[in-house]
Structure 1
């Protein structure tokens, strides 16, 4: 790897926070991922009977917000914002609660869908009880920028608060935008990540109608099986992950502990189809190539990829073919992980959580496993880490995190050891 661009600040990760189907914080989530645990479970409700849902399970959040947040906070926030605040508080504390001028502090927290619980509950209230019973806080709760607005208020960020919306790539794009805020000199510290709370009967019914959800109601924990020949769709998940990004200079000046460096950001769009990826993978290759170029790296530097890998028939193999196209023979030495096999698909939160996993992977030199792959697809073109973690090599290492979203949004982030 070459040195970063002259005059461009290096961006490092100094804090991690999460609340996910695997755990109520980043540490327990990572430990469960290394152990190969699944966060999918049968839903404890009557939705299937009441609405005729064909799917009766999801990767629900493990620690409920009511166990963490005060009641007034619960009442004024949509669950998507609740999750983001929980993750932000952990990440901020993990970074040492840095003292930073609010004019030099930014926030970028994204959601792919936004406050859908609030939106649909509000419609039910209007239809059943009339306009006079509508909650005054409905609009601030349902707007897609609500999570980042609450994060901005929480930490006192005045350099800018942004919510990038790019479907399932939203969380990764938020981190990429946070990197650019620091690189361009607008901020010294940025809290960045993603959040989603869509385990509600309407989104489940909608995704099921698009035939993208797994129907393995009899085996929730085995349902998400990226790269297995019997995969039949993704498992919808919920939660949030947040990273504290900081210029290396600012982190060094305060003696902060550094996990890793976000060395490269690559963005592209397919211009192909509203839901399907370009079968040639051109946009995916472009995003990864740009991330490597931005990091001053080549394919020889890549030792690990946390794949988007949702467990759909077409998407999984398009991605591995793209990795092979990009890396050529170097792909034979890459350790591929598909962590949605454990977490489910957090939609707008997925890219942030998987970036957190990539940061932990290079920091601890361990690639997390992919579970539920009993019969690997013969068209899989990259070595897959199955069932147990795999050690990353010594020395300088680079991991790619891929996030792709409906609409043809592609984001690749290059993560290196600090």
Structure 2
């Protein structure tokens, strides 16, 4: 499908949010061949956006000759830089009712019963854990009459398996629900947000070559440029702003990303990237470390005692988690991406992410208790920004690539502590360090006769 661009007088965004009051949002109709009777039918395509989720393409085909119809939903959002894996310990009926955003590429797994729904076997859906189990039960029950006639023993085993799923769906049997999405676009609800959910574990990881191939981006990662690329020195990059074409993450229209190498005093070099969209006026910026992963992790704790502390520069890498002990708040790595901003700007981003951009605070997904809890969290952030409440902010970066300005540099800051620590095995696994081998290649090559 070709990309549609908004012209003069057209909507600012190609993908518009679903709304019953939007009379201008009409699907495009294309006459196409029916694969059932080979007569001409009608395909209707609608580019829309699910609120607080992703852009989607809804296509519906109907044939007046044979009455055959087919509806399909495809994701139009971008693939994230890292995959995501959710592991939830389901203990009661309330956990079963948690909402789930599941894309086409997500794999669902329940280890207690060795049950798995592979990737690309079901279409993406916005449902609940109960809905996923119910769809599985219905699918297994459809072929049971035929199984009972052909293989009664197999049908009996499947009946037992369905009974286990029914007990799990009713919240009677505890189990572990695992959702693994290499595209990074799936989501499992945290009803305790903005507080941490002890029963829910979220891990971001680097995709394997097989997962890149599943997503169709293997050729992009492995593509070699046949033309010789001129060497660019580090000194030239410091003085030059590089620009390359990309797509807007909001409306998917063509845009330009600017990139520059910047030296942060008393720290290291970082790469700052900014994207501006002329179609929808969306702006985004991202920061990546210009150096390697440090030998030790870094934990920075700042006691905010004065409004001037909010003006401190802060570099948050994509591997850094944020904590505010006074609010019992913890934000995992990857949630806000890499940022180079001030402490005030970071707190504003946290408030917007938790209160305004939370996918389960409006529409059918919202409840009064949940909305009030999140609004109260936003008011607490505002009181910290206004200097009415003193609080601590904790930056924990296992890669050691985050930074918080020391206004007393080169002297020690009395309100800030910086701790270096040895990474755990799980943290090295998240950073992809456990699979790296940088020594002993010559010995292994000699042993295998290479």
TM-score normalized with structure 2 length: 0.24
Pick the structure with greater CA Rg: 2
TM-score calculated relative to the size of structure 1: 0.25
Greater RCO between the two (CA within 8 Å, min separation 6)? 1
Higher strand proportion: 2
